């Protein structure tokens, strides 16, 4: 379901896995690959990218022909490495919010989304 970018904290990956989510980790499987390669993996495996890297917005909306299933960009890192997992679990428990086919920006007190159509 998720593809954790290399900068996504391992403790957050572990919490997501403990809560029943499938998470493939670039940090574990392919450290050092480019953002473009991360997008290719996400496309190939139909995974939602989890990242702290702000470059994905520009890559997707200005330069890329291929759109990953979704990207969740965490603008804030919080006070500990479990912050991202806790915020994401809270978001996923809200039935009014969908992260599919969207670039979702998560800040500590707000969420912004830009939806896109996949071919």
Q: 107 pLDDT band (50/70/90 cuts)?
A: confident
Architecture in CATH of 2-115:
3-Layer(aba) Sandwich (3.40)
Q: Which two tokens stand for residue 24?
A: 């493939």
Who wins on pLDDT, 10 or 118? 10
CB atoms within 10 A of CB 1: 14
Q: Considering the entire predicted model, what is its pTM?
A: 0.94
The Cα 14–Cα 44 span in angstroms is 23
100: closest CA among 85, 112, 117, 87? 117
User: What is residue 116's predicted lDDT score, i.e. its pLDDT?
Assistant: 83
Please name every residue paired with 71 in a beta bridge, in sequence order, or none if there are none.
49, 103
User: What is residue 117's predicted lDDT score, i.e. its pLDDT?
Assistant: 72
Who wins on pLDDT, 67 or 108? 67
User: What is residue 65's predicted lDDT score, i.e. its pLDDT?
Assistant: 65
Q: Which residues contact 96 (CB under 8 A, 6 or more apart)?
A: none
């Amino acid at each position: 379901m998720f593809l954790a970018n290399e900068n996504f904290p391992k403790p957050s990956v572990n919490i997501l896995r403990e809560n029943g989510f499938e998470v493939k980790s670039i940090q574990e499987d392919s450290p050092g690959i480019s953002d473009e390669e991360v997008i290719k993996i996400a496309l190939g495996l139909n995974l939602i990218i989890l990242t702290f890297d702000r470059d994905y917005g520009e890559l997707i909306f200005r330069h890329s022909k291929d759109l990953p299933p979704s990207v969740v960009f965490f603008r804030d890192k919080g006070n500990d490495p479990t912050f991202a997992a806790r915020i994401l679990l809270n978001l996923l428990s809200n039935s009014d919010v969908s992260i599919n086919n969207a670039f979702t920006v998560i800040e500590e007190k707000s969420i912004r989304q830009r939806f896109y159509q996949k071919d």
